[in-house]
Structure 1
């Protein structure tokens, strides 16, 4: 119990430290957290409004692209932030009470909370601009956000070990994952694609995350092709593999 209490206190202190380091004492840091997704959503909306009369789902372009982009951000923003968790706090690992896993958990909590607040603000603003009120199914939204964060956490646990150990792998990982935005169903519906493109896109677990997230905003959306078993199978496989690599690499994580 004492060991658990100590780690909870360490993680809480790291969350406060990470918040101060990331956002600073000036409001500009917090404002950028909202401007980044808002600008992407606005850009996509303007582009597609110029070439199409209606979005692929519903009647609002901003809502359609927000449901895709925010769902994707629950993975992408989390993965990008967690991948450097240990390296960014390496100086603190000289203290015996600070474990490498604490740095990852602190960033996980902070990023999940940050993305959730940003999502709430973005969808509130979009909802106020609509003629009809949003019909929201919270279980789908929460589940999608949680699944996306698990995918990111599993990747990050492994990457915190593999990036410093194999610099070439880090470059390879960045190149391979760069097209994820295009193949995750952010600005289209995977289940409306022709075969075999649909099957190829659905191999990406993030496409299932986006489909599930959209079910929370569009009651009429059937999300044909969504496979919860596949999504969680990938998520827990990554989490198990990441934990295995992370827990067996104490010397690498502490820079010994």
Structure 2
């Protein structure tokens, strides 16, 4: 709790607006995408509301990206506090993970609620599937973030390499289109992107006519747990050495 309060004060308490920016940034992105694609197409690939369609793609992606990034930098962020024996790397990781999933859930709730109230969306909510999609996005962010928490300290160049790798992920995670509309062989390649499965499940939770049969929660869970196990094992073995870097 102390680490979470410190994170809240430093990440959101120093800038004007604080938590307001956490809502405005994705909202502005969704609004911009909606304006651009409304001028190009009559209807979105799914449903009748451009803002809702892009919100169902962007918000799980942002949850993964934010959680992964904050968890990956948790040891660097709390490096001085980790010198105290009562503070462990698990404390640093869990504090950032819990705070940021709560933040992103709040952001998603506000944006989805606004879209439903402000636009004609005709969505049918399946809360079980929606919660499952958000849970998988958070778990994937935790798993990859834990592995990167080790990699970023052990190999400083890994942080830049990961930043370069993440740039096209926004385009290849099916935020702008439906997976079924992709041609072969690109469809077969993108199936191995876990975010495609998460976003497919999210859209299934909002659009009752969309089955997303390709989405495999087990695949996302497997990728998340393998990355998390590898990260925790490496941190446990080399944690003390990393603090001296």
Normalising by structure 2, we get a TM-score of 0.95
1:166 matches 2:155: yes
Spell out, residue by residue over 1:96-124, the C-alpha distance to the aligned partner (whole angstroms, 9 max, x if none): 11111101100000100000000000011
Q: Tell me how far 1:133 sits from its aligned partner.
A: 5.9
1:147 matches 2:136: yes
Q: Tell me how far 1:26 sits from its aligned partner.
A: 6.5
Return the alpha-carbon distance in structure 2 between the equivalents of residues 122 and 141 of structure 1.
14
Structure 1 contact 165–252 (Cα < 8 Å) conserved? no
Q: How many residues align?
A: 245
CA RMSD of aligned residues (A): 1.6
Q: Tell me how far 1:58 sits from its aligned partner.
A: 0.1
Match of 2:197 among 202, 208, 227: 208
Return the alpha-carbon distance in structure 2 between the equivalents of residues 175 and 144 of structure 1.
26
1:12-23 equivalences under 5 Å are 12-23=1-12
Q: Which residue of the partner structure matches residue 9 of structure 1?
A: none
Spell out, residue by residue over 1:143-192, the C-alpha distance to the aligned partner (whole angstroms, 9 max, x if none): 11111111111122122222122112222222122211111111111122
Q: Which runs of 5+ in 1 are unaligned?
A: 1-11
Q: Tell me how far 1:134 sits from its aligned partner.
A: 4.0
Q: Which runs of 5+ in 2 are unaligned?
A: none
Return the alpha-carbon distance in structure 2 between the equivalents of residues 77 and 33 of structure 1.
10
Worse overlay, 122-131 or 156-165:
156-165
Q: Which residue of the partner structure matches residue 186 of structure 2?
A: 197
Structure 1 contact 150–239 (Cα < 8 Å) conserved? no
Q: Tell me how far 1:193 sits from its aligned partner.
A: 1.3
Q: Which residue of the partner structure matches residue 4 of structure 1?
A: none
Return the alpha-carbon distance in structure 1 between the equivalents of residues 91 and 4 of structure 2.
10
Match of 1:105 among 88, 94, 113: 94
Normalising by structure 1, we get a TM-score of 0.91
Structure 1 contact 212–226 (Cα < 8 Å) conserved? yes
Q: Which residue of the partner structure matches residue 61 of structure 2?
A: 72
> Where does structure 1 differ by over 6 angstroms across 4 or more consecutive aligned residues?
none
Structure 1 contact 55–64 (Cα < 8 Å) conserved? yes
Structure 2 contact 201–215 (Cα < 8 Å) conserved? yes
Q: Tell me how far 1:229 sits from its aligned partner.
A: 2.5
Spell out, residue by residue over 1:80-106, the C-alpha distance to the aligned partner (whole angstroms, 9 max, x if none): 111111111111112211111101100
Q: Which residue of the partner structure matches residue 7 of structure 1?
A: none
Structure 2 contact 74–93 (Cα < 8 Å) conserved? yes
Return the alpha-carbon distance in structure 1 between the equivalents of residues 187 and 213 of structure 2.
10
SS at match of 2:70: helix
1:111-130 equivalences under 5 Å are 111-130=100-119
Return the alpha-carbon distance in structure 2 between the equivalents of residues 100 and 132 of structure 1.
44
Closer, same or farther: CA 196–26 of 1 in aligned 2, 3 Å: closer
Q: Which residue of the partner structure matches residue 178 of structure 1?
A: 167
